[in-house]
Amino acid sequence: MMKTLSITILIMFFLLPINARAVTTIFDSNSTISDGNAYDTVVVKGDSTVVEMTGGTVTKLFMMDASTFNLSGGDITDEIYCYDKSKLNISANASIFHAFVYGKSITDFSGGSVDYILSHECATVNVSGGVATSVINTQHSSVLNITGGSIPSVPVDGSGTVNISGGTIGMLHISSTGDASGKVNISGYNLSAVPYGGSYGRGEITGYWHDDTYFNINLDNSLLYSFIKLYDGPVHTLTMQTNPAFINTVTPSVGSHDYAGCVNISAERLANCPDVYRFDHWEGDVADANAANTIVDMDANKVVTAIFVVDEPKCGDECHPNFLLADHNHDCVVNFSDMAMLASRWLDCTKPECD
Ligand SMILES: [Ca+2]
């Protein structure tokens, strides 16, 4: 009886279609997939696991933890799922079909081809090259940074953010109007967003990227115009400094940053006990030299210095807290005044028994 059952199961196994016998391979340490390798489902896990794929084929790929998958050749023929803080790098001659990216995963697409990428949650997708044949979709709080490559359609949905400063983009549209609060930031020069009107909300954005490439992006959906912000103008360098130099409570941080258009800058107090440094003024070309929060117009390279001074020490500041136990009048010292307060309220009572 048992022998008959075994033979029956064996026959059934071989009668199953090929794709119903998928085998899962788990990589939890550094590995390579190259020409001649063929895997069904691959799972990559572990915070320090790096898998290099230079050739061969994988049907499905699952990325977990903070693992890294460097895809520079070969084909992933079905779907990729990126979770957690995983990192997927697609470059060179690699070809993938569909990628679904979730969590805080990062996908860098710099070469090769992909049909579509759908990003959710807080995932980041960076596109600097390669060809997408369908869409790269940004949903929820995910971020899409496009500096190159070719994408026929970029839908932005929910509270997703799309930053574009290069590349060839066919169509930009709001894919869902229900909770649309997405942002589209476009940085270039001679920019214009022109609605054509009509019920479909068609229009276009034209201009030049900072490498002087002309571009034209078609727009679809009249809601889109309120989500687009154009950063128009050449890129210049803003150098942030502080005096004293050890303070770095400025935004943007101390150092050099490239910007087009206007930039918000700010300076915060710093407690370095026993001293507290407060913002005094800005030196450099800023809109309001005496305001801790102000604007720099980046029409040229600028150097801006935040000047801080030591604030007069006083009871209650960051270095002199006034919540000592028994310091009833909060004057930073426990003495007879506190005892007098205690005596004057002697036997005051708020207990229920005292009602
Ligand atoms: Ca006191």
Instruction: Tell me how far apart the alpha carbons of residues 22 and 79 are, in angstroms, rounded to a whole number.
Output: 14
Decide if 195 contacts 213 (C-beta within 8 A).
no
Verify that 243 and 216 share a domain, yes or no: no
- The beta-carbon contacts of 92-101 under 8 Å, at least 24 apart in sequence, are 94/53, 96/71, 101/125, 101/142
Q: Is residue 328 part of a domain?
A: no
Verify that 123 and 184 share a domain, yes or no: yes
Per-residue pLDDT, 19: 47
Encoded tokens for 6: 């075994």
Encoded tokens for 42: 């691959």
pLDDT, tens only, 257-269: 988 777 889 999 9
**Cα atoms in the Cβ-side hemisphere of radius 13 Å centred on 287:** 14
Q: Is residue 335 part of a domain?
A: no
What pTM was estimated for this model as a whole? 0.67
Distances (CA, A) of 258 to 208, 235, 261: 17, 6, 10
Domain end position, chosen among 232, 261, 278: 232
Verify that 128 and 255 share a domain, yes or no: no
Verify that 253 and 170 share a domain, yes or no: no
Instruction: Tell me how far apart the alpha carbons of residues 344 and 330 are, in angstroms, rounded to a whole number.
Output: 17
Verify that 125 and 195 share a domain, yes or no: yes
**331 Cα–ligand 1 center, Å:** 5
Verify that 169 and 99 share a domain, yes or no: yes
**317 Cα–ligand 1 center, Å:** 16
* The residue to which tokens 């596109």 are assigned: 127
Per-residue pLDDT, 10: 41
**274 Cα–ligand 1 center, Å:** 20
Cα 164-167-172 angle, rounded to 5 deg: 60
**310 Cα–ligand 1 center, Å:** 25
Q: Is residue 88 part of a domain?
A: yes
Residue type, 228: I
If one counts every other C-beta atom within 10 angstroms of the C-beta of residue 47, the result is 12
Domain total in the chain: 2
Domain end position, chosen among 232, 250, 275: 232
Q: Virtual CA dihedral for 136, 137, 140, 146, nearest 10 degrees?
A: 40
Domain end position, chosen among 295, 310, 325: 310
Q: Is residue 354 part of a domain?
A: no
DSSP result, 6-41: HHHHHHHHHHS-GGGG--EEEE-S-EEE-TT-EEEE
Greatest extent of the chain over all pairs of C-alpha atoms, in Å: 98
Enclosing domain of residue 58: 19-232
Per-residue pLDDT, 152: 93
pLDDT along the chain (355 residues), means of 10: 42 45 90 96 96 96 96 94 96 90 94 92 92 87 92 85 93 69 84 86 92 93 81 88 96 90 90 96 96 90 97 94 92 96 94 92
Verify that 153 and 260 share a domain, yes or no: no
**166 Cα–ligand 1 center, Å:** 63
**336 Cα–ligand 1 center, Å:** 8
Residue type, 204: E
Q: Is residue 353 part of a domain?
A: no
**335 Cα–ligand 1 center, Å:** 6
Decide if 229 contacts 164 (C-beta within 8 A).
no
Distances (CA, A) of 35 to 25, 32, 72: 17, 10, 12
For residue 336, how far is the Cα from the chain centroid? 56
pLDDT, tens only, 161-195: 898 999 999 999 876 655 556 688 899 989 998 88
Verify that 155 and 302 share a domain, yes or no: no
* The residue to which tokens 């896990």 are assigned: 45
Per-residue pLDDT, 179: 54
User: Is residue 123 helix, strand or coil?
Assistant: coil
Verify that 212 and 242 share a domain, yes or no: no
Q: Is residue 48 part of a domain?
A: yes
Closest C-alpha among 173, 86, 175 to residue 125: 86
**308 Cα–ligand 1 center, Å:** 31
